[in-house]
Structure 1
Amino acid sequence: MTEDTVLTTVIAAVREVVPEAEVSADTLLIARKIIDSLSLLSLVSLLEKDLSITIRDAEVLPANFETPLAIRAFLKTKGL
């Protein structure tokens, strides 16, 4: 899976969890309150399903989910 494909998947997942949000690669998801704790859990669950990965509770850190680009960088550590 290419980095562009992962980023596209991440942005699509954010839009699915928060349909009203305008999201691009560098959108500040947490700082702009696009995602909160509940939607973050939904996003993690969706990414796990869509990408066939497991994200441990200890990995659900604000730094890993600050922007779609940050999420892509985090997912790279998962082998994507």
Structure 2
Amino acid sequence: MAQDSVLATVRSIVQETASGREVTDETPLIAHRIIDSLSLLTVVSRLEDSFGISIDDTEVLPNHFETITAIRSFLSAKGH
């Protein structure tokens, strides 16, 4: 999957979770409480489904999900 396509998919997943709040690629998702513990599980599940990957519990770290860019980098490290 092309990098721009991956980033667009991540944006879409996060935007659905953001409940209409303005989110950029660098918006602090956790610090601004756009993603909380419950919605993080939803984001992880959607990422797994969208990219056909498995995200281990040990990989669900705040630094991997702090921004859309961080999520993109995390997925890149997993081969996407």
TM class by smaller structure: over 0.9
Aligned position for 1:65:
65
Report how far residue 33 of structure 1 moved: 0.8
SS at match of 1:35: coil
In structure 2, what residue type is equivalent to 1:9? T
Q: Would the aligned equivalents of 1:18 and 1:39 in 2 still touch at CA under 8 Å?
A: no
* Percent of aligned pairs with the same amino acid: 54
Q: Distance in 1 between matches of 2:78 and 2:5?
A: 15
Q: Structure 1: which 4+ aligned runs deviate by more than 3 Å?
A: none
In structure 2, what residue type is equivalent to 1:61? L
Report how far residue 58 of structure 1 moved: 0.3
Residue ranges of structure 2 left out of the alignment (5+ in a row): none
TM-score after normalising by structure 1: 0.93
How many residues are aligned here?
80
Residue ranges of structure 1 left out of the alignment (5+ in a row): none
Aligned position for 1:74:
74
Q: Distance in 2 between matches of 1:16 and 1:52?
A: 19
In structure 1, what residue type is equivalent to 2:14? V
In structure 2, what residue type is equivalent to 1:38? L
Aligned-residue CA RMSD in angstroms?
A: 1.0
Q: Would the aligned equivalents of 1:10 and 1:71 in 2 still touch at CA under 8 Å?
A: yes
Report how far residue 26 of structure 1 moved: 0.9
5 Å-filtered alignment, 1:1-80, equals 1-80=1-80
